[in-house]
Amino acid sequence: MTARTIEARSARRGFGTAAALVALTAGFVGAAPAAHAADAQSMQWYLDAMNAEEIWKTSTGKGITVAVIDSGVDPSTPSLKGQVLKGWDAAEAEGDETDDRTGHGTTMAELIVGTGAGGGVKGLAPGAKVIPYRVSDTELQNKEKVNAFDQQEAIRAAADSDARIINMSFGSDFYISPIREAVKYAQEKGKLVFASAGNAATDGNKKHYPAAYPEAIAVAATGKDGKVGDFSNNGDYVDLAAPGANIPGYCDKSLTRYCDQRGTSHATAIASASAALIWSKNPDWTANQVLRVMFESAGRGEDWKEGTVSNYLGHGIVRPGAHINRGVGAPGDPDISPLTNTKVGGKGGTAGGDASSATPDPSAPASSQAPEDKSGDDAVVAGSSTESDDSGLPVWAIGAAAVVVLAGGAFAVVRKRRSA
């Protein structure tokens, strides 16, 4: 047992055809040493770093719903009471979408919308709501017969729901066409689809799906120092980074203890919550406009070369406060995706909205790949300033968040801006 927990990479089923099942790697979290529930908020260093209290004076995510496709979400934890809407069990296993057998999905939901009640985790967007969609992992598949098409069906169901944002804190090394088409469908419906970039940077660093699909927003994980974690996958598909190390999460399915965890799963949830804050402040914007502002307001150092995107940070570290409190970032064309530079999911699409027809379930217990860049990568020397901006993260840390050692020096590797 180490001092931290890293998301376990467990196999799950693939969905080429009903008969042909492919082993996938799912990013559902394992356990780490326990911390008492009362200590959970003291572990949430990133809330201070992002000046969350100032953000919440303007936006808490109210009116925005986030679909959480994961291991299930238990709505009975103190921090989630009243925050979870009726969802769907795509896994078709025993129980329903409120039966979380690992604690992973419940952790993601709390990171997004938790109220902090009872000393639990305080979500970055506590005014938002979540809709849970349960999908299976290897443990569940080994115990019960499950729906082999649960991922693609859950994504499509979420795309057809009132949720504006879809959070997918899981993934695998395998490209599955029906899942890619489901993600594309969600984008066409005007949704923002966030997915974890993966936790295997030191174990092959293969592209991680669904994050690497062009229509998904791939999220890498950073630590307290603003640097990308050594576990966080990197590559030309990474779009954004968010805090993802030393984050409190449930140790196991008992949901009684929080542990010190790390993973791109956690970073993805925080990125989804950041989008909810911005969208809540600007409810008439399309998904394209929200994402463009997230890209333009992301934290980058003074040495970041104009017009480039980092293989480690993407467009930078999420900073919802930079837009909400200081107006950084322009929404731009509502119909053009900043991911692919194509017309999709704008005013002509269904942007979704507040889940006004959905209410807390009364029966419940009390990541983007782009075309290959032919120009190659440039190595940029990391900044050394110790000044801070309103994100609370040192400028030098933001700018040098993804660090590799080259010729004895620290460099941030960046790539040219991508287009479709």
Which residues belong to the active site?
Answer: 70, 104, 265
Burial of 136 (0-12, 13-18, 19+ CB in 10 A): buried
Stated length of the chain: 420
Q: Which two tokens stand for residue 159?
A: 């795309």
Q: Which two tokens stand for residue 139?
A: 């443990």
Distance CA 294, CA 271 (A): 9
The single residue listed with the structure tokens 């782009």 is 370
117 DSSP 8-state letter: G
CB 101, CB 253: distance < 8 Å: yes
Single-letter amino acid code for the residue at 192: L
CB 112, CB 158: distance < 8 Å: no
Distance CA 87, CA 7 (A): 24
Question: What Rg do the C-alpha atoms of the chain give, in angstroms?
Answer: 19
In 341-383, which ranges are E strands? 378-381
What Cα–Cα distance (Å) separates residue 125 from each residue in 4, 45, 59, 75, 407? 25, 15, 8, 16, 42
CB 266, CB 247: distance < 8 Å: yes
Distance CA 368, CA 196 (A): 10
Beta bridge partners of 361: none
